[in-house]
Chains A and B, each alone.
Chain A
Amino acid sequence: MSGEAGRAILIEGIEKAFGKTRILKGVCLNLREGEFLSLVGPSGCGKTTLLRIIAGLESADAGSVRIGGKDVTRLRAADRDIAMVFQNYALYPHLSVAQNLAVPLVMRRLSSLERVPLLRHLVPGHAQRRSAINAQVQQAAEMLRLGHLLHRRPAELSGGQRQRVALGRALVRQPSAFLMDEPLSNLDAELRAGTRREIVELHRRAGVTTIYVTHDQVEAMTMSDRVAVMMEGELLQLGTPREVYENPADLRVAGFLGSPRINTLPVCSAPDGIRLGALHLPLQAEVAPGAELTLGLRPEALHLAAEGLAVQIEHLEFLGAEVLLHARLAAPDARLTARLPIAVAAQLQRGDAVHLRADWSAALLFGADGARIASSASELCLNA
C-alpha cells in the first residue's frame, strides 16, 4: 500500500446551526492526497460536528464536501467510502474481534441473503467471497498485532486493544479517507504516546488521507502534516505544526498552542514605536499610534539577563532538563513564564528579583481583535 490510496478532500463553506446556536461558521479546508491533518481546538469548538459532516453522519446547512474530486455532500455516509474511528471505539459488543473487523467487508460484499445464517450456503460463490474476507481480516489483524485476540469479544479486551480493533475495522477495507474522533482520549498517558506513534506509522504505510480530531495540542503537533486550529466554529489557521506554533495568525491560536501558555502583555503603539507601560520596546509595526495591542512572548523567548524586564520570582517548576520560572512584572502588573536551562536557573530562589531579556525577533504582536500584526525587531535596540 502506498500514497495513492488516499484521496484529496475539499471542504467549502460548511455552515451548521443547532437551533439558534451557530456551531460552524463557514469552514473551508483542503487536504492533499494522503495527508494527515489534525483538527484541533477546545471542546465545543465544532470540530467533531465538522468531522461528522464530512463523514455524512450529520448534514450541513450550507457548504460542500468533495472527496477525490467528487461532490459527496448529498451522499449518505455508507456511500462516501470513508472509515471512522470513534472516541468510544463503537465496537459491536456481541461480535468477536474477527467479526468486528469483518463487518465493513461483509456489509459491502455480501448480499443480505448471504448474511443470513444457513441460507448463505445456498448463494453461489459465497465460500470464495467469505475466504477473501477472512484473508483480509487476517492481514489487518496481523498489521495491528491482534492475531491472538481474534476470537475474543470487545468486553474481554483492554482499552488499547479495543482501540486497535477500532483502527483495524477502519483499515480493513482500505477506504479513501480515515476520520478519527479523539481516538486516544480514553487511553492512559503511557498507552497514548505509544498509540500515537502507531497511528502515524499506520498512516505512513496505508497512505490514506486522514482527518484527526483532537483537543490535545501535543497529539496535533506530533502526528500531523498540517494542523487546523478551530475555535468557536471558525477555522482560525491551517498550517504545518511549526507554522501555527511560530507564526500564529490569531491570539487565540497562540494561546491555545504551546505549553506553558504564551505570555501576553498589553502594549500600545506610540509614534516612536511600541511601548510596554513606560518602556520603549525594540519592536516595529505598521499600526496607527495609540492603538491598543497585545504582545505575545513564548516562554522560551525569555532569557535571564543582567538587564531587561525587572521581575520577581513567584514560583519555580523543576522539569528535569529545564526549569519553568513564573515571575511577576511590576509595571504593568503581569505574570510571565520563562523556560530556562537548568544550568542557568540552578541558583534561583523564590522571591528573587531578576531581569528577563526577551528575544524580540520571536515576539508576536496582535491587534485589539486578536489578529496578528506583522512586526519586526528593530536592529538598533536588539540588545535592550
Chain B
Amino acid sequence: MRDTAALAGPAPATRASRAIGEAAAAWVLCAPAGLALFALLLCPTAALLVLSFSDWELGAPELAWIGLGNYVELTTDPVFRIALRNTLIYVGVVMPASIGLGLGVALLVEGGSRLRATFRAIYFLPVVSLLVAMATAWQYLLHPTIGPVNRVLALLGISPINWLGSSDWVMVSLCMIGVWENLGFVVVLFMAGLTAIPRELYAAAELDGARSAMDRFRLVTWPLLGPTTLFVVTITAIRCLRVFDTVQALTRGGPNNASQVLLYAMYQEGFSYFRIGYSAAITVVFLAIVLLLMLVQTRILDRRVHYS
C-alpha cells in the first residue's frame, strides 16, 4: 500500500525520501557480510600491519612503536636474507618443474584411452594426504644410512648423500619433495583444463594440416590452456611461497639455517622467540610478495589468455 501511495505522489520530495530509504535498506542488508569481512579478514591483516611497526613480544606488558625498525632489521638479518633467498629459489625451481611435469603427465593421461580417473586419483594422493605424515616417509627414504634412495645410489656406485643433513643438499631435497607434493595438484588442474578444450578444434587442426603432436599442441592445446595455466601458475606460486610443513617436519630450517624459508623464519620469530612485531614484519613481506603476484596475474597476464 505504501508503495502505491509513493508511486501515486509525483512530488520530488517523496521520490527523494524513497531513494534514501532504498539506500538505507541496502546498507542494512550489506552490513552483516560487510562486518564479517572486516572482522574476519581485513582487521587481522590491518592488525598485523600495525604490529609490524611495534616491538611487541608475546606476554610483554607494553609495547613501543618503532616505526620501520623491524623492516630495517630485516634488511640486515642474515637469517631472513637466507630465508627470502631460499623461498625464491624454492618457488623458482618447484613452480616451473611441477608445472612442466604436471602438464606433461596431464597430456599423457588425457591422451590415453583408459584409466584416466585412476591416474588422476593416484597423482592427487600427495595433495590429499597429510604432508606432515608423508614427511616421515620422506625422512626414511632420504635417510643417509638406511634410506632406500642412498642404497639405490650405492648400487650405481654413487657415494651416499646426506640429503637432509647437508647444507649443500637440503634445498635440493626440499625442492624434490615440493615437486612431488605439487605435481598432483597441477596434473588435476591441467586435466580439467584439457577436457574443456572442444574436440572439434583438434579435428579442425588435423584437417588444417597440423600433422605432428607438437603442431597441434602449439595451435590448439597451449593457447586454449591459457586460462588454466595462468591459474595454475598463480596457485602453485602461492603454494610454493607458503612452503612450511616439510621444513618444520624434516629440517627445522637446518642445518645451520641452510633450509630457512620465509614462513619458517616467521614461525620461529613469532612462536619460538615470541617476537610478534618482528614476525609480523616478515608476514607483511610475505603478503606483499603474494599481492605482487596477484597483481601481475590480473593486470598483465589475464588480458593475454582470455579470448572472449
Q: Which residues of chain B have C-beta atoms less than 8 A from A112's C-beta?
A: 212, 214-215
Query: CB within 8 Å of B: which of A4-54?
Result: 52
Known: A84-B203, A90-B201, A112-B215. A169 touches B307 (CB 8 A): no
A239 touches B (CB below 8 Å): no
Q: Which residues of chain A have C-beta atoms less than 8 A from B201's C-beta?
A: 90, 92
B224 lies within 8 A of A76 (CB): no
Please name 22 pairs of A and B residues whose Cβ atoms are closer than 8 Å in the assembled complex, sorted by A. Answer: A57-B203, A76-B206, A77-B207, A78-B207, A78-B208, A90-B200, A91-B204, A92-B201, A92-B220, A92-B223, A93-B223, A93-B224, A94-B307, A103-B205, A103-B208, A103-B219, A107-B215, A108-B209, A112-B212, A155-B308, A169-B204, A169-B208
A115 lies within 8 A of B218 (CB): yes
Q: Closest A-chain residue to B218, C-beta based? A: A115
Number of interface residues of A (CB under 8 A): 30
List 12 extra interface pairs beyond A87-B200, A90-B203, A103-B208, CB under 8 A.
A77-B203, A77-B207, A78-B208, A86-B200, A86-B203, A90-B201, A90-B204, A92-B223, A94-B223, A104-B208, A107-B219, A155-B308
**Chain A window 83-111, contacts with chain B (Cβ cutoff 8 Å), 1 for yes, 0 for no:** 11011101111110000000110011000
User: B28 → chain A, closest Cβ, in Å?
Assistant: 40
Interface residues of A (CB under 8 A from B): 52, 55-57, 76-79, 82-84, 86-88, 90-95, 103-104, 107-108, 112, 115, 153-155, 169
Complex: how many Å from CA A52 to CA B206?
A: 12
Q: Closest A-chain residue to B212, C-beta based? A: A112
B2 touches A (CB below 8 Å): no
Q: Which of A87, A95, A103 has the most CB of B within 10 A?
A: A103
B198 touches A (CB below 8 Å): yes
Complex: how many Å from CA A3 to CA B187?
A: 51
A90 lies within 8 A of B211 (CB): no
Q: Closest A-chain residue to B308, C-beta based? A: A155
Q: Which residues of chain A have C-beta atoms less than 8 A from B206's C-beta?
A: 56-57, 76-78
Interface residues of B (CB under 8 A from A): 198, 200-201, 203-212, 214-215, 218-220, 223-224, 226, 307-308
B307 lies within 8 A of A153 (CB): yes
Q: Which residues of chain A have C-beta atoms less than 8 A from B208's C-beta?
A: 78, 103-104, 107, 169
Q: Which residues of chain B have C-beta atoms less than 8 A from A115's C-beta?
A: 218
Q: Which residues of chain B have C-beta atoms less than 8 A from A83's C-beta?
A: 207
Complex: how many Å from CA A210 to CA B165?
A: 71
B207 lies within 8 A of A82 (CB): yes
Q: Closest A-chain residue to B226, C-beta based? A: A94
Q: Which residues of chain A have C-beta atoms less than 8 A from B211's C-beta?
A: 76, 78-79, 107
A92 lies within 8 A of B214 (CB): no
B198 lies within 8 A of A90 (CB): yes
A88 lies within 8 A of B200 (CB): yes
Q: Which residues of chain B have C-beta atoms less than 8 A from A88's C-beta?
A: 198, 200
A107 lies within 8 A of B200 (CB): no
Complex: how many Å from CA A83 to CA B307?
A: 25
User: A372 → chain B, closest Cβ, in Å?
Assistant: 38
Q: Which residues of chain B have C-beta atoms less than 8 A from A86's C-beta?
A: 200, 203-204
